[in-house]
C-alpha cells in the first residue's frame, strides 16, 4: 500500500512549565474513518528516534481522500536529534532537523 505524507516536523519545547517533545505531520488516508497514530517503533539499531505510523480504521463511511494530522507528544526535556517515521516496518520519512523552542 502506498501512503502519502507531508509537513513533518519535530520540536523540543523547553519553555518553563510546558516542556515536551513533539512530532507531527499530515497523512492522506483513503477513507474518512481512518485515523493515523504515531507510536514508538519496534525497529531497533537506528541513529534516530524511530516512530511507527499506524492507521486505525474507525469504520468510516466516505471512501474519499482525507488529510489527517498525526502527532506524537511526550512531556519532559529530551535530547532527540532526528526522527524516523516507519510504516509497516519500512522507513517512510526521516526528520533531520529538530526545532528547539527556548
Q: In terms of residue numbers, what domain contains 72?
A: 4-101
**Tens digits of residue pLDDT in 63-86:** 888 899 999 999 998 889 999 999
Confidence at residue 51, expressed as pLDDT on a 0 to 100 scale: 96
As a whole number of angstroms, the distance between CA 38 and CA 3 comes to 14
Helix ranges, 1-102 (H): none
Q: What angle is formed at CA 71 by the lines to CA 37 and CA 8, rounded to 5 degrees?
A: 110
Residue range 7-13: mean pLDDT, rounded: 97
94 or 17, higher pLDDT = 94
Question: pLDDT class for 44, splitting at 50, 70, 90?
Answer: confident
Q: How many domains does the chain have?
A: 1
Question: C-alpha distances in angstroms, 97 versus 70, 80, 81, 93, 102?
Answer: 18, 10, 7, 12, 16
As a whole number of angstroms, the distance between CA 45 and CA 42 comes to 10
Amino acid at each position: 500500500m502506498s501512503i502519502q505524507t507531508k509537513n513533518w516536523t519535530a520540536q523540543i519545547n523547553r519553555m518553563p512549565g510546558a516542556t515536551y517533545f513533539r512530532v507531527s505531520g499530515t497523512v492522506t488516508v483513503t477513507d474518512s474513518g481512518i485515523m493515523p497514530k504515531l507510536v514508538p517503533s519496534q525497529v531497533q539499531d537506528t541513529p534516530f528516534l524511530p516512530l511507527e505510523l499506524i492507521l486505525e480504521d474507525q469504520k468510516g463511511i466516505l471512501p474519499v481522500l482525507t488529510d489527517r494530522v498525526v502527532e506524537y507528544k511526550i512531556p519532559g526535556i529530551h535530547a532527540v536529534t532526528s526522527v524516523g517515521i516507519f510504516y509497516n516496518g519500512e522507513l517512510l520519512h526521516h526528520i533531520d532537523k529538530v526545532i528547539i523552542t527556548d
